[in-house]
Amino acid sequence: MTVARRPLLTATAAATLLAALWFVPSANATDDPAGAPGARSGPATAAGDTAAGPRLADTGTGTDTTPYLIGGVAFLGIGAALVSRSARRTDALSV
């Protein structure tokens, strides 16, 4: 009976994860300063803020992407190991 419930539990977990990710806010850039929360309506007063129009965030030129690469490779390796282990377990059960 537990074998029949396993796909149902997996599908439920996946649906729960997707439903949770649905509510994660996105960072969409807009060129409408009146619609943006916390937008300034007056003239630019900060030093160096001489642009007449809206600007996107300045990320700089030397962004360090090493942690993202290491994390991505680690998660890719863990996922590949889990898929490989699952395939081996399925083959061992069918023999």
Annotated domain spans of the chain: 68-95
What distance in Å separates the CA atoms of residue 55 and residue 22, rounded to the nearest whole number? 27
pTM more than 0.85: no
pLDDT of the residue at 64: 81
Burial class (CB in 10 A: 0-12, 13-18, 19+), 12: exposed
| Angle at the Cα of 31 from the Cα atoms of 27 and 33, rounded to 5 degrees | 95
pLDDT for the residue 41: 52
Q: What pLDDT, on a 0 to 100 scale, did the predictor assign at position 32?
A: 62
Average pLDDT along the chain, 95 residues, taken 10 residues at a time = 72 90 72 57 52 63 83 94 88 70
Residue 54: predicted pLDDT: 63
Classified as helix, coil or strand, 37 is coil
Phi-psi region for residue 78, left (φ > 0), alpha (ψ -120 to 50) or beta? alpha
